[in-house]
Amino acid sequence: MEDWRGEDESMAAWTGGRRVEDEVREEALGFEFLSWRSEDVGRIPVNVEAFGAVGDGIADDTQAFLSAWNRSCSLNNSVFLVPAGKSYLVRAVRFRGPCTDDLIIQISGTIVAPAEPEDWDPKNPRTWLHFSKLAGVRFQGDGVIDGSGSKWWASSCKINKTNPCRGAPTAAALPDSQQIHFTISRSDAVRVSDVQVAAPSNSPNTDGIHISESTNVVVQSSKIQTGDDCISIVNASSNIKMKNIDCGPGHGISIGSLGKDNSTAAVSTIVVDTAVLRGTTNGGGSGYVRAVRFQNVRMIDVQNPIIIDQFYCDSPTSCRNQTSAVKVSQVLYRNISGTTRTAKAMKFACSDTVPCSDIVLDNINLTAAASGGTAETFCNCAAGFATGVVQPAADCLRADSSPCDGSKETGRARIAHGSPTMSSDAPSPQTSGRPGEVHVANRESSCRGLDYSITYELFTRINIYIQKQLGKSEEFWVRFCRNTTGAS
Q: Respond yes or no: is residue 251 known to be catalytic.
A: yes
Of the residues 130, 181, 210, 251, only one is catalytic, namely 251
Beta bridge partners, 382, equal 356
Q: Which residues contact 231 (CB under 8 A, 6 or more apart)?
A: 207, 208, 209, 210, 211, 219, 224, 242, 245, 247, 253, 254
CA distance 213 to 204: 23
Beta bridge partners, 468, equal none
Q: Alpha-carbon torsion 214, 220, 222, 227, what sign?
A: positive
- CA 358, distance to chain mean position in Å, is 21
CA distance 62 to 276: 38
CA distance 82 to 65: 9
Q: What is the DSSP string of 165-192?
A: P----B-SSSTT-SS-SEEEES-EEEEE
Check whether the bond before 117 is cis (ω within 30° of 0): no
CA atoms within 13 A on the CB side of 311: 15
Beta bridge partners, 110, equal 87, 144
- Which residues are the active-site residues? 251
